[in-house]
Amino acid sequence: MIEGVRKSRCEKQIFRHNDMAHLETLLRSAGDRPKLIVFESLYSMDGDLAPTQAICDLAARYGAMTYIDEVHAVGMYGPRGGGIAARDGTMERIDVIEGTLAKAFGCLGGYIAGSAQLIDAVRSYAPGFIFTTALPPAVCAAATAAIRHLKVSEWERERHQNRAGRTKAVLATAGLPIMENDTHIVPVFVGDPERCKQASDLLLARHGIYIQPINYPTVAKGTERLRITPSPNHDDELIDELADALVDVWEELGLPLNRRALAAE
């Protein structure tokens, strides 16, 4: 999404994270010029959510189009897995919805959804689309089956939220510095790039657990973290093993634990 903004060579203004007052100031200053608000629904590094209703209200007020990135939410949120906009009732108010066939749908590839006229314009003029290769039929069939299943099955979404909630509770009880949010993203704060990479290496070498280290430029310097995304298939035993492994690594690297949580336990 960011690369698309850069390659468009259009003037851009960056509004502060989820700051609707700042966004309104920028929209007002743009006057009658064509405007497009580009944002994510679920920010995967912190696990927080965009206020889609408020953004759509501002877009309507100032004559702007909207583009939402739902890649971390499709299949996992909304009554039929449509994403955060579906959950919030704002899908019909958004001009372009970007999603992925990976993650919840277990395949690969991506898509955008919008009006017939808009999609036809992208199909006709976007060089990145014109000069690409179509997905193999087997991948398309698998993605279609996954989407059809998740439209009608709530078990995976309910179980996913349950597993994420339990992971957060178990890690917090173990004294690990969970970065709180209301989604399935479970970031564990480290705050140092070298020790973040060391923690990831130790987890894999000593415990057979792979968790990717998240460092700059993906997150701001000083906010490095391990990012965990539990699946519906992670049972209680696996979550408990993860907590024990993380505590072992934290102690090995001299990373701080929440002693108050440990004392309460």
β-partners of residue 48 are: 43
Q: Which contiguous run of DSSP H or E holds residue 124?
A: helix 116-125
Task: Enumerate residues 6+ apart whose C-beta is below 8 A from 140.
Answer: none
Can you tell me the distance from the alpha carbon of 177 to that of 249, in angstroms, rounded to the nearest whole number? Answer: 13
User: Along the 265 residues of the chain, how does pLDDT read in single tens digits?
Assistant: 888 899 889 999 999 999 999 999 999 999 999 999 999 999 999 999 999 999 999 999 999 999 999 999 999 999 999 999 999 999 999 999 999 999 999 999 999 999 999 999 999 988 888 888 889 999 999 999 999 999 999 999 999 999 999 999 999 999 999 999 999 999 999 999 999 999 999 999 999 999 999 999 999 999 999 999 999 999 999 999 999 999 999 999 999 998 665 555 5
Q: Decide: helix, strand or coil at residue 103.
A: helix
Q: Are 101 and 130 in contact (CB under 8 A)?
A: no
Q: Could you give the residue numbers annotated as active site?
A: 103
β-partners of residue 57 are: none
Task: Please state the pTM of the whole predicted model.
Answer: 0.91
Measured from the Cβ of residue 50, the count of other Cβ atoms closer than 10 Å reads 20
Can you tell me the distance from the alpha carbon of 201 to that of 193, in angstroms, rounded to the nearest whole number? Answer: 12
